[in-house]
Amino acid sequence: MANPTTLASAKIGGESITVRLIESPDAPGSVIVTWPKKSISISPRRFPDVAATIARLFANASTELARSKGRWL
């Protein structure tokens, strides 16, 4: 049975982006990125902040994955 671990998540334009590690004793682990189901419209003025939020999201997910690496290798 899969055991999901949320590595990082962020809300952008009211929608969530989530990065999860899926672990299963029967299969290799995998990382699942869940994007919003609909497009998000943001102003060009806000775009740098949104891009920075997404970059931090992936950096945080990568850090959490490295921390948990010993558990799933």
Q: Give the chain's mean pLDDT.
A: 87
pLDDT tens-digit profile of 38-48? 888 899 999 99
Q: What are the CA-CA distances from residue 34 to residues 2, 10, 44, 45 (Å)?
A: 16, 11, 24, 25
User: Is there a contact between 35 and 56 (Cβ–Cβ < 8 Å)?
Assistant: no
State how far the Cα of 54 lies from the Cα of 31, in Å rounded to an integer. 16
Per-residue DSSP letters for 3-26? EEEEEEEEEETTEEEEEEEEEETT
Query: How much is the pLDDT for 71?
Result: 57
Residues of the chain with pLDDT under 70: 1-2, 70-73
Domain residue ranges in the chain = 3-72
